[in-house]
Chains A and B, each alone.
Chain A
Amino acid sequence: MAERDDELRDALGGSVLDAVREEPDPGFALALRAELRGRQARATQNLWWFDVDLPVGTIRLVHDEELVHLVDNDPYRLELRTQVDLGFEPRHGDSKRVRAAAEQVLSGRKRGSELAFLGELTPFQQTVLRTTSRIPRGGIRPYSWVAREAGNPGAVRAAGTTLSHNPVPFIVPCHRVVHADWSLGKYSAGGPEKKREVLAMEGMTDSRLEWIQHAPRFVGTIDAQAFCLPACEGLDETDPSNLRAFASPQEAVAAGYEPCETCRPISIDWD
């Protein structure tokens, strides 16, 4: 026994000391599992597609048993993308599980990044799409806000490029990202008019949009002593006498207002 002790002690060294105390974060372990499964689904050509009808038209989703890999509202373009990105034709199938999850995402009850296969993207691109998935249904945020929230305030253009190549539009809501002056900007799934239509479907109506575009850069709610981006949910329906304009976050903070936790107004490039 004693000899065996020495041998083991020698062989073990210090590294197992930490190893025994550390378990992975369950969220990480599950996400990695889904991603690996997605990679293997691509490599072994185990992908399917089904259509979802929306008020703005039909979208086609290419998926494995857990994640959505590609989305397009134009079947011909999707065919081209599958040839280029996948190199094989997905089969027609209808997964109840993925369909139910997609419906949750489309109705705003689940984040799109949890359902999307993002394994082919760089870490920055993945972060941009995850950040975009946090924008609530019915809301919009500027590109500069996404870049800053993704941890790289200087990468506004890179964030824009990432969103214009979003492999899973509608699931990751790239249509909710707009210019800093709240004009809508481009939309690769059908142009600015389509972007307006998709946003209207989600409750961002023309009148709300107009209110936001004419609002001050930052809006304080007097009774809550908090300040927001004008696009923060419900501001346009708040009694105007309860609102106060600010030109900058500094001005709002100096007046004793706290930044809103929902729209995170300090994450906008205000220079």
Chain B
Amino acid sequence: MNETALIAAARTSPDAFAVLYDRTQPALYRFAYSLAGNHTGAEDLTAETYKRALTNLHRYEDRGRPFEAWLFTIARNLARDGGRRAGRELPLMDHDEPVEEPVSFGLEREERQTLVQSAVARLPMIQRRVVVLRFGRELSVRQVADELDKSEAAIKQLTYRAVNRLRALLLEAGYEHDG
């Protein structure tokens, strides 16, 4: 069943919602963990996100972006509200600091980050690892190869595939680049 049909079915069927949950939950949990910084926080955030998604499912509109991006936005808003309510900042990442905006993107900066993170979360595990080590932790190809116990050639190949896959996912999700 494609995503649009599945979401429509999930509005009236507990079973369909469970399938939607199975498809999205691993990626959402990882995203929630990145926001909360620990398992307890990630569990709370994941549970709250799905509860809100369930209540607002009738308001979800398919705008050609993955359903996950919608869930990610809910999680991000909940994390921000939760941090405000508790009178403290959740351990958000440094990329939430205001920085100069490149003008070449049509989407809001935050929305773009959500899209990229959603796309990364959808990569196969090994590609995700390579992307994170290479671009997140900024390791060299050599270092990534050591870390994952693979050859440098394999890491280059995996990076190439991951970047292509990411590009495809991002284009499909409406992340456009003028350059």
Chain A interface residues toward B at CB < 8 A: 1, 3-5, 7-9, 11-20, 22-25, 28-29, 32-33, 35-41, 43-44, 46, 64-65
- Is the Cβ of B34 less than 8 Å from the Cβ of A24? no
Give residues of chain B (13-40) contacting chain A, Cβ–Cβ below 8 Å.
13-15, 17-18, 21-22, 25-26, 29-31, 33-35, 37, 39
Quick one: which of A19, A33, A40 contacts B54, CB cutoff 8 A?
A: A40
Decide yes or no whether B93 CB sits under 8 A from chain A: yes
Q: In the complex, given contacts A16-B136, A20-B120, what are 9 additional A-B residue pairs having Cβ atoms less than 8 angstroms apart?
A: A1-B163, A12-B131, A16-B117, A19-B30, A28-B43, A36-B18, A36-B51, A39-B51, A64-B14
Give residues of chain B (114-146) contacting chain A, Cβ–Cβ below 8 Å.
116-117, 120-121, 125, 128-129, 131-132, 135-138
- Is the Cβ of A9 less than 8 Å from the Cβ of B135? yes
- Is the Cβ of A32 less than 8 Å from the Cβ of B50? yes
Residue of A nearest to B128 (CB): A20
Assembly CA distance A1 to B157 (angstroms): 12
Residue of A nearest to B137 (CB): A17
**Chain B residues whose C-beta falls within 8 Å of the C-beta of A38 in the assembled complex:** 14
Quick one: which of B22, B34, B121, B131 contacts A18, CB cutoff 8 A?
A: B34
- Is the Cβ of B14 less than 8 Å from the Cβ of A13? no
**Chain A residues whose C-beta falls within 8 Å of the C-beta of B43 in the assembled complex:** 24-25, 28, 32
Chain B interface residues toward A at CB < 8 A: 10, 12-15, 17-18, 21-22, 25-26, 29-31, 33-35, 37, 39, 42-43, 46-47, 50-51, 54, 93-95, 112-113, 116-117, 120-121, 125, 128-129, 131-132, 135-138, 160, 163, 166-167, 177, 179
Given contacts A22-B42, A24-B29, A28-B43, contact A15 B135 (CB under 8 A): no
Total residue contacts A-B, CB cutoff 8 A = 128
Contact residues of A: prevailing secondary structure: helix
Given contacts A4-B163, A22-B33, A39-B51, contact A16 B120 (CB under 8 A): yes
- Is the Cβ of B33 less than 8 Å from the Cβ of A36? no
Assembly CA distance A268 to B70 (angstroms): 47
Assembly CA distance A98 to B147 (angstroms): 47
Assembly CA distance A37 to B25 (angstroms): 14
- Is the Cβ of A24 less than 8 Å from the Cβ of B42? yes
Given contacts A32-B46, A36-B51, contact A12 B116 (CB under 8 A): yes
- Is the Cβ of A14 less than 8 Å from the Cβ of B136? yes
Quick one: which of A3, A12, A24 contacts B135, CB cutoff 8 A?
A: A12
**Chain A residues whose C-beta falls within 8 Å of the C-beta of B33 in the assembled complex:** 18-19, 22
- Is the Cβ of A11 less than 8 Å from the Cβ of B113? yes
- Is the Cβ of B54 less than 8 Å from the Cβ of A36? yes
Report, nearest first, the 4 A-B pairs whose CB atoms are least far apart.
A13-B95, A19-B30, A15-B34, A19-B34
- Is the Cβ of A15 less than 8 Å from the Cβ of B54? no
B21 to chain A, nearest CB (A): 6
Assembly CA distance A160 to B22 (angstroms): 37
- Is the Cβ of A20 less than 8 Å from the Cβ of B42? no
User: What are 23 A-B contacts defined by CB distance under 8 Å?
Assistant: A8-B135, A8-B163, A11-B113, A11-B116, A15-B93, A16-B34, A16-B131, A16-B132, A17-B132, A17-B137, A18-B33, A18-B34, A19-B34, A22-B30, A22-B39, A23-B29, A23-B30, A32-B25, A32-B43, A33-B22, A33-B25, A36-B54, A64-B14
Task: Determine which residue in B21, B34, B163, B179 has the highest number of CB atoms from chain A within 10 A of its CB, and name it.
Answer: B34
**Chain B residues whose C-beta falls within 8 Å of the C-beta of A13 in the assembled complex:** 93-95, 113, 136
Residue of A nearest to B116 (CB): A11
Quick one: which of B14, B46, B113, B160 contacts A65, CB cutoff 8 A?
A: B14
A226 to chain B, nearest CB (A): 32
Quick one: which of A14, A24, A37 contacts B94, CB cutoff 8 A?
A: A14
A66 to chain B, nearest CB (A): 9
**Chain B residues whose C-beta falls within 8 Å of the C-beta of A24 in the assembled complex:** 25-26, 29, 39, 42-43, 46
